[in-house]
Amino acid sequence: MRTAVFPGSFDPITSAHLDVARRAADLYDRLVIGVLSNPRKDPLFSAEERVDLIRACVSDLGSRVSVEAFDGLTVEFAAAHSAAWIIRGLRAVSDFEAELQMAHTNRRLAPAVDTVFLMSALEHGYVSSTLAREIARYGGDVSLLVPEPVIGPLKERLRPDRPM
């Protein structure tokens, strides 16, 4: 079985992330979306909340796509799922340098695991979780930035009258 992992913070998952996940799901027999619990970051949503939001976004893809939280090294997450591929999304050339460095490092740590880069669709090339959070924080329309299941929770979490 050809298994790939798609790791990320996904805080929150965006339309660009979802585009990459859907295309990766078409390429592999099994896709595991890994939600990174990064202690160095202060996420808007907990890892469990992000897992739930992503599951709602990919529910139509069936049982060959799963979502779970993880911490630690991505190559260890891949090994735990017998995955031979790590999926990384690229929006622009500016993403490539950091992603390439990470891919080379992962390859040194786990030579049997390859990184596959998928460009986000053109219409999502500008989309980021940071941008979605910023627009939501000021009450802007995020419907083109995040999938439908994320809109309500994102607006609620960042509503102006909510204590931070």
- Annotated catalytic residues are 17, 41, 91, 129
**Residues found in the chain:** 164
Tokens coding 30: 């099994």
> Do residues 33 and 112 make contact, with C-beta atoms less than 8 angstroms apart?
no
Q: How far apart are CA 24 and CA 131, in angstroms?
A: 24
Q: Look at residues 81, 70, 68 and name the one whose alpha carbon lies nearest to residue 36.
A: 70
Q: How far apart are CA 26 and CA 22, in angstroms?
A: 7
Cis before 12? omega within 30: yes
What is the distance between the terminal CA atoms of the chain, rounded to a whole angstrom? 45
> Do residues 99 and 90 make contact, with C-beta atoms less than 8 angstroms apart?
yes
